[in-house]
Structure 1
């Protein structure tokens, strides 16, 4: 069964929403219609991206990172993932500005994710990666796996 994790909304996304809204209202107030429409379109894109960002672990062994309808979905096979690490951006004592999970895959490719249930996401990802590696090992050496059973 596919497991879908929704994205956590970071503080800077709220800040961007406030800035775009204030600029759109200010442009309307000063009667700059084209500028106001531009800010409103940007606001729509940001809101849509915030609402529809999901991370899906599929049953066929893929991680799908969807960042909304306007951005193409990124599909990462679990077999290509080489590292999963939790990172903090800028720490001030015990407080960190943003916490995220950095996933390294392929040759030098990275994707950062911020699921709401971060611990559950990391555990399930590790579990499915481990199960995928065991299946791959059994597919390569079926004779060895049969010899272990007897």
Structure 2
């Protein structure tokens, strides 16, 4: 069964929404229609990206990182994942600006994810990675015995 985790909305995404909205309204107020249309289009893209960002752990052993309809889905095989770590950006004492999970895969490739349920996401990811490794080891052993 596929397991879908939705993304957490970070503070800077709210800030970007406010800035784009204020600029769109300001451009409309000053009758700069082309500038207003540009800001409204950027606002639509950002809202769509925020709403439709999901992280899916599939039954066939992949992690699908979907960041909305306008950006291509990134598919990462669980067998290629080498490390899963929780990071904090810019700490001020106990307070950190943003918490995220950094996934390293392949040769020097990284993807950062911010699921709503970080702990549960990390546990399910580790569990499926372990199950995938056990299954691949069993396949290798059965091939050696044949």
Structure 2, gaps ≥5 residues long:
none
- Note closer, same or farther for the CA distance 1:144–1:21 as it changes in structure 2 (3 Å cut): closer
CA offset digits 1:41-64 (Å, max 9, x no partner): 000000000000000000000000
CA distance in 2, matches of 1:135, 1:6: 28
Aligned residues: 145
CA distance in 1, matches of 2:44, 2:129: 36
Structure 1, gaps ≥5 residues long:
none
- Note closer, same or farther for the CA distance 1:18–1:76 as it changes in structure 2 (3 Å cut): same
Alpha-carbon shift at residue 145 of structure 1 (Å): 6.8
CA distance in 2, matches of 1:129, 1:115: 18
Alpha-carbon shift at residue 36 of structure 1 (Å): 0.1
Alpha-carbon shift at residue 146 of structure 1 (Å): 11
CA distance in 2, matches of 1:123, 1:89: 22
Q: TM-score, normalised by structure 2?
A: 0.95
CA distance in 1, matches of 2:143, 2:65: 37
- Note closer, same or farther for the CA distance 1:81–1:29 as it changes in structure 2 (3 Å cut): same
What stretches of structure 1 move > 2 A for 4+ residues in a row?
A: 143-149
Q: TM-score, normalised by structure 1?
A: 0.93
SS in 2 for 1:69: coil
Alpha-carbon shift at residue 17 of structure 1 (Å): 0.1
